[in-house]
Structure 1
Amino acid sequence: MTELTVDEGMRLRRAAGIRSMRLGETKVSYVPDGGAQLRPLHLLQDTTAELWAAHPEYLDPTGHLVASMGALLVEHGDRALLIDTGFGPQTLQAPDGPLGTIHGGALLDNLAELGRRPEDIEAVAFTHLHSDHIGWACHPAPGGDRPVFAHAEYLISEQEWDRRDLLEEQGMAEQVATLAPHVRTITDGQEIFPGVRARITPGHTVGHAEYVITGGGRRLIAFGDAVHSPIQIDHPEWSSAFDHDPALTADHRRRLVAELAEPDTFGFGIHFADVVFGHVRQGGTGPAWQPVDA
């Protein structure tokens, strides 16, 4: 394992642009929507100011962790699946807590840059139903009153949808009602698209889903919010303040890190600054998360 290069260090402090990789006949692309600034001590509450002082490469000039916000486009032939839909065309500033600022709005332009229109998307598969993952699925299309992806199926884990009351209690009843007409629930191990299987991994939310994409002898695990920052790959015991069950999430994260170190296995971290695609190398002196771009 090698130390971070200068370029990799810079990438940890900026939100990701469009990045793609191939798995045989399947192409996967990160579709940016925006980004967020997170307060590291509030997000990862087992960390200390001294620790972050020793790892300035993870922090922007204002002392925040930078997170990407967006979606994963999966293309197989003429078919297209989208995993999550970003935050949507809005901005939020929080005075305290883990979240500093969050903004979206670029998803549709970046989807077009990749040669796809919203109507090309046959289904949207959600990792979970937090607002930074369902944004455009609940937002009206420009110039209309229907959501952008209203023609597509919304694939949501059965457990997640069964507990949508938790979202309603958090003031998201309107978003739940918007999603409802399009929902098809999915179960653990179900193939939802050529080479794409759902894997239900509760912890971050009650029914949080990961998606395992295989092709060309390679495997990509889109692990959603099981991990928020690449520094957690080195410290899987550090759970996020956003996790519904921190202990359960930490247990899963340990297994996930080991899995991502297996040959021909890669990960997609939707919030991983500008290192969204990567794999794990263990046993060296540098960071375990190694970004890959092809």
Structure 2
Amino acid sequence: MTSPQRWTFGDVSMQRVIESETPLLSPFEIFPDCTQAHLDANRDWLVPRFQNAADGLLTITIQSFLLRRNGLTILVDSCSGNDKETRARPQFRHAQWPWLDRLAEAGVRPEDIDIVLCSHLHVDHVGWNTRLDNGRWVPTFPNARYLISQREWDYWQAVGAAGLQRAGDYITDSVLPVFESGQAELVGDEHAVAASISVEPAPGHTPGQMMVRLGSGREQAILSADLMHHPLQVRYPDWSTRFCADPVQARTTRRNFFNAHAGTGRLIFPAHFPSPTGGTIERDGTDFGFKFCGEEHACFGHRHG
């Protein structure tokens, strides 16, 4: 059912297209509730795979998920993109990632993409929606429909420039052009993208964040977007990030998700977990851990606080 490079869920196949997988964020920047005591209690599994020993930064993967089903090609999220200027975080400014080359290695050209599914409208999920062409931002995928949650789009229109101060104005260069080209399609909280591929709400991180459910029956998986950013959030489900629009709702969504899927064996693919990304939610008494595909043990530590 799984391999390091490709997964199959019923009649849906999936591959990851990685933009970057490096130490990126301080745990104290992303998680307001994190203390050194928490890190020390989990050091046996954190370092070096999930946290860099030298600078303490957490490894955060920026990636897309490529889905194929009966001739239909779907891209879930489009990373941070190249050549973007108005970015607050240096790693995302004027970047030159070989992401298109990695898409080609998966056997797909930009014009082959039928649907781009935006799980939510954050800077590291919409960048390759567009590319720079003679000084203009144009859709990277000329034949695709870009599916965006109506609730999500309403939120970003309402908050305006104030909501973009932390990240920089990525809406203008990476989202608006797909509306201007007529390729954007707004969808409801629950939407059937295709047979065996559907979206469902996962609010909190953003109001309209969507998860993607693949397959049917026993052969199911969930692309959980930014419901959790790092395995530490599985150990500490009450931790929401500084980037969450509604931290309380994000916490509720995450706990409900863990309670629903822990111990079921269902594969979960968070957007930012490092290789191999996918795994299962496991329960140890009242605690949770994440067990990566092909590994014997889940990421459990000793709770602090």
Shift of 1:287: 6.9
Relative to the length of structure 1, the TM-score reads 0.83
Select 1:174's aligned residue among 167, 172, 176. 172
Query: Identity over the aligned pairs, expressed in percent?
Result: 26
Q: Map Cα deviations across residues 172-213 of structure 1 (whole Å, 9 max, x no partner).
A: 452342131321011122101221111122211121111111
Inter-partner Cα distance in structure 2 for 1:286 and 1:237: 11
Alignment of 1:74-89 (within 5 A): 74-89=67-82
Alignment of 1:125-204 (within 5 A): 125-140=117-132, 146-165=138-157, 166=159, 168-169=161-162, 170=164, 171-175=169-173, 176-180=175-179, 181-204=182-205
Which residue is 2:102 aligned to? 110
Contact kept, 8 Å, 2:130 with 2:177, in 1: the verdict is: yes
Shift of 1:121: 0.9
> Taking structure 1 as reference, are residues 160 and 59 closer, same or farther at Cα in structure 2, changes over 3 Å only?
same
Select 2:41's aligned residue among 51, 54, 62. 54
Alignment of 1:204-215 (within 5 A): 204-215=205-216
Shift of 1:255: 1.1
Contact kept, 8 Å, 2:11 with 2:215, in 1: the verdict is: no
Shift of 1:143: 11
Count of residues in correspondence between the two structures? 273
Q: CA RMSD in A?
A: 2.8
Aligned amino acid, residue 174 of structure 1: T
Aligned-partner SS, 1:22: strand
Relative to the length of structure 2, the TM-score reads 0.81
Shift of 1:90: 4.9
Aligned amino acid, residue 251 of structure 2: A
Inter-partner Cα distance in structure 2 for 1:90 and 1:152: 21
The unaligned stretches of length 5 or more in structure 2 are: 296-305
Contact kept, 8 Å, 2:77 with 2:118, in 1: the verdict is: yes
Inter-partner Cα distance in structure 1 for 2:221 and 2:134: 33
Q: Is 1:23 matched with 2:21?
A: no
